[in-house]
Amino acid sequence: MPRRIRTRFKSICSQNLGITQRGPLDERAIESEERNDELTRWAGKWASEGNDIDTVIKLTMGHNVLHCQEPLPQRDIEVIVRSVIKR
């Protein structure tokens, strides 16, 4: 995701949804080696709450952009979510 779009997305989430931003300098940000496991756990949580696949993809993409030091590309998020949904 281009930096300009990611910055705008974070701004909108922060202003409209009350979601706090985490960035690369935040000690709580998800590091590269943890992001697949972390995003898989969140996708599983949202899927278990009864959300449809499109909603889970959107939620996971948002979490990815807001909390990962180096966000995964959308296609990788889709693979993670489809894998979770199959289980």
State mean pLDDT over 53-80.
91
DSSP state of 11: H
- Is the confidence at residue 25, as pLDDT, over 60? no
**The overall pTM is greater than 0.85:** no
Q: How far is the C-alpha of 49 from the C-alpha of 10, rounded, in Å?
A: 24
Arithmetic mean of pLDDT over the chain? 80
74-86 and 53-67 helices cross at what angle (nearest 10)?
130
- Is the confidence at residue 24, as pLDDT, over 50? no
Q: What is the pLDDT, as a whole number, of residue 18?
A: 46
At 17, is the pLDDT very low, low, confident or very high (cuts 50, 70, 90)? very low
C-alpha gyration radius of the chain: 13
- Is the confidence at residue 22, as pLDDT, over 90? no
Are 11 and 23 contacting, i.e. CB atoms less than 8 angstroms apart? no
DSSP state of 71: P
